[in-house]
Amino acid sequence: MTSTLEQVGLVARRSVRRTMRQPALIVPTLVFPLFLLAVNSSGLSSATKLPGFPADSYLDFAITVAFMQGALFAAITAGTELATDIQSGFLNRLQLTPLRRAAILVGQVAGATTLALIGALVYLAVGLIAGVDVKSGVGGAIVLLLYAVFIAIAFSGIGAAMGARTGSPEAVQGVFPLIFAVFFLSSMSMPRDLISIDWFRTVATWNPASYLVEGLRSLVITGWDGTALWRGLAVGVAVLVLSFWVASRALATRMART
Amino acid sequence: MSGNSHGIVVEGLVRIFKGDIHAVDGIDLEVAAGEIYGFLGPNGAGKSTTVHMLTTLLPPTAGRASVAGFDVATQGADVRRNIGAALQEAALDNFLTGREHMELQGGLAGLSAAERAQRGTALLERVGLTEAADRKVGGYSGGMKRRLDLALALVHGPAILFLDEPTTGLDPQSRSALWDEVERLAREDGVTVFLTTQYLEEADVLADRVGIIDHGRIVAEGTPDELKREIGGDTVEAVPADPHHHERAAEILHRFGEPAAHTPKGVAVRLTQAAEHLPDIVRAFDDAGITLAHLELHSPSLDDVFLAKTGRSLEGAGDESEPAEAPVPA
């Protein structure tokens, strides 16, 4: 009998191989966030002239959006991959082995996580070339990468929960615009205290995504900001625990083996 | 429940799905160690639901089943350790190679890395996939996928093998290659095989014993020969050269025996010692001035058995669809 850790390793290796062999998953993860970043940083650059805007360049301000978008792609990848396994019957195959549920859940998000790491490295590299100035320095850039991957893992849980619940890759993809809308109702494109519309500011304040964005962003535009980092981390942990709990429950219903 | 350690014992097994659908409606059967048991029936008869219950993927609504001496409802893990299964969908990962599949399945079954590699190579060779081992499964033919599926089911050396419609959709050549392999597993390695099929020929050629299932119930069971003998007698079919003579031909032929299943243009009867009656039959047609385009004598087929038991022919009998996936329990 293999240990749970070995099982995680086996499922994870398969998940990574699978993901890395699908250009249809890799290309959007790399292209779309950079495209949006290019559009935003040129189109919204005048925002930096607003009194009290926290960064000199809008690119510095907006680069975190790419990491958030990368996390969103990780969620979609994890969700569609799990749903595909359910739909194809591959999950049945795995169920006939002594595989534990925890192993499948953790192993399955390995592909999405790897993709998120590659994405984060690319966004950062492109950002640095384009002139992003990471105020927290080299150490901060490393923390930024880890932080981005951590958020991606937390979001993979959301994807996995949706995948396990619906068993349909299309359904998982259908939720994509919804989460993106939630992102836009956060402080993603504007600092909260500069949002002049009251309801928007209220929504952004209650929106957990704001704290994830602000945690990431503080490393670039502020330096080491303990409050922002700590809040972002707390929200991230909450998302992680909640999403994997829901995913595990949904998968338990699916895997009704005796 | 008997302690049939390498066989299968099923008593009153029932599975009811949401909407009061009795997919499996109280079946009893016993499969001895080393036997090939053919579970024959049309689409939607309850074959896959039965396999899902016996492989622990679906809890029974009622009844009991023991596989390899373990109860499928309460000793799932023990059952799974002793069985291999190739389920209907041949669920494979198109982005992985054949060898990577073996590695994953072997690893999850508890083999060490070295065992995994050695066993994977041996099994891939056994099913004739050595050359294709390092190609992605997405490029495999239907037959290759089924063979890989079979190899995967064997990775942990199971005593009992479940094959759910292993040759559906395969060309005749791939089909007989798979039959040979299944035959070899049972005869040489003593593996017990529980096989579902909607092909009469498959059950006839491969199975030691056949259970015919229709609407969730077993309507006949026995060796193919027993079942055919039960039907009693051979079938004589005559096709008149002139279609207008069809009615008169039927009249003449029906003097010799019981009406039986026939082709659209022909008439057929079932009778004992058909060979002895053949000259009389020919003479009778001759006296009536009816020329025959075709006259055939054949021993009963499993389709005759199916027809006799259900009133329908097996070919095209599949109407109601059976849920392919194990649905949410009712």
- What is the rounded distance in angstroms from the CA atom of residue B290 to the CA atom of residue B5? 61
CB contact at 8 A, B258 and B271: yes
* Closest C-alpha among A83, A105, A96 to residue B57: A96
The pTM for the full model equals: 0.84
Cβ neighbours of A237 (radius 10 Å): 12
Could you tell me if B47 and B216 are in contact, meaning their C-beta atoms sit under 8 angstroms apart? Answer: no
Rounded CA gap, B271 and B274, in Å? 6
Q: Show residues of chain B in contact with A10, CB under 8 Å.
A: 103-104, 107-108
What's the angle, vertex CA B23, arms to CA B19 and CA B28, rounded to 5?
140
A161, A246 Cβ separation under 8 angstroms: yes
- A217: tokens are 């962003």
pLDDT in tens, chain A (258 residues): 578 889 999 999 999 999 999 999 999 999 999 998 888 888 787 888 888 888 888 889 889 999 999 999 999 999 999 999 999 989 989 989 988 888 889 999 999 999 999 999 999 999 999 989 999 999 999 999 999 999 999 999 999 999 999 999 999 998 888 888 898 899 888 888 888 888 999 999 999 999 999 999 999 999 999 999 999 999 999 999 999 999 999 999 888 776
CB burial of residue B250 (10 Å; 0-12, 13-18, 19+): middle
DSSP assignment letter at B139: G
Residues of chain A contacting B79 with CB distance shorter than 8 Å: 258
Alpha-carbon gap, residue A226 to A229, rounded angstroms:
5
**A53 compared with B132, residue with greater pLDDT:** B132
Q: Which of A125-129, A223-227, B58-62, B244-248 has the lowest mean pLDDT?
A: B244-248
Both tokens of B20, joined, read: 């009061």
pLDDT band at B315 (very low <50, low <70, confident <90, very high): low
**DSSP state, A144?**
H
Neighbouring CB atoms inside 10 A of A15's CB total 25
Residue type, A112: A
Q: Identity (one letter) of the amino acid at B131?
A: E
* Residue A125 burial (10 A CB sphere; 0-12, 13-18, 19+): exposed
Q: DSSP 3-state helix, strand, coil percentages of chain B (rounded to 5)?
A: 35, 25, 40
Interface of B with A (CB under 8 A): 55-59, 72-74, 76-77, 79-81, 83, 85, 87-89, 91-93, 95-96, 100, 103-105, 107-110, 136, 152, 325-326, 328-329
Of A1, A2, A89, the CB nearest to B87: A89
- The Cα–Cα gap between A83 and B1 comes to 39
Q: CA of A255: which chain B residue's CA is closest?
A: B57
Partners of residue A17 in chain B, C-beta under 8 Å:
95-96, 100
pLDDT in tens, B179-200: 999 999 999 999 999 999 988 8
Mutate to test the interface with B, among A7, A21, A257 (most CBs of B within 10 A): A257
- In 3D, which of B203, B201, B235 has the Cα closest to residue B220? B203
Residue-wise DSSP of A1-67: ---HHHHHHHHHHHHHHHHHT-HHHHHHHHHHHHHHHHHHHHHTGGGGGSTT-S-SSHHHHHHHHHH
Structure tokens at A32: 């779309």
What domains, with CATH codes, occur in chain B?
8-222 (3.40.50.300), 233-299 (3.30.70.260)
pLDDT at A161: 95
Which ranges of chain B does DSSP label H, i.e. alpha helix? 47-54, 76-82, 98-108, 113-126, 142-153, 172-189, 200-206, 224-231, 246-253, 274-287, 302-310
pLDDT in tens, B23-38: 999 999 999 999 999 9
Q: What angle do CA B84, B98, A92 make, to 5 degrees?
A: 40
Q: How far apart are CA B168 and CA B46, in angstroms?
A: 16
* Closest CA in chain A for residue B327: A254
- In this prediction, residue A44 carries a pLDDT of 80
Q: Give the nearest chain A residue to B54 (CA atoms).
A: A258
Sheet hosting strand B267-271, strand order edge to edge:
B258-259, B267-271, B234-240, B292-298
| C-beta atoms of B93 and A98 within 8 A | no
